[in-house]
Amino acid sequence: MGKKYFVDVVINKEKLSSGKPVFVAHSLGLGIASQGNTVDEAMKNIREAIDLYLEEQPSKYEELVSEEVPFFSILEVNKNAKVAGIVR
């Protein structure tokens, strides 16, 4: 079996200057982003962006996490700049 590579993707709901909501997908490890009107569309678009990026720069595979899936956590913070708790 070949080596496995994992790409981190974080999706945030944001608003355009017009006020319209949009979902922005970021790959922090690769430094690329894409967007869509829905989460599914944002995922489809970031997958396409990742495919194109790695096709053009295959050496970037070596910078990706391999063997283990990346771990993410979400922290809740208060306005007084204190961590209130771990959400996930």
Which CATH code, of 3.40.50.620, 3.40.190.10, 3.30.160.250, 3.40.50.1980, is assigned to 5-86? 3.30.160.250
Q: How confident is the model at residue 73 (pLDDT cuts 50, 70, 90)?
A: confident
How confident is the model over 2-57, as pLDDT tens digits? 778 888 899 999 999 999 999 999 998 899 999 999 999 999 999 999 999 999 99
The token pair that represents 45 in the structure block:
């678009």
* Whether the Cβ atoms of residue 43 and residue 11 lie closer than 8 Å to each other: yes
pTM of the model: 0.77
Distance between CA atoms of residues 10 and 27, nearest Å: 7
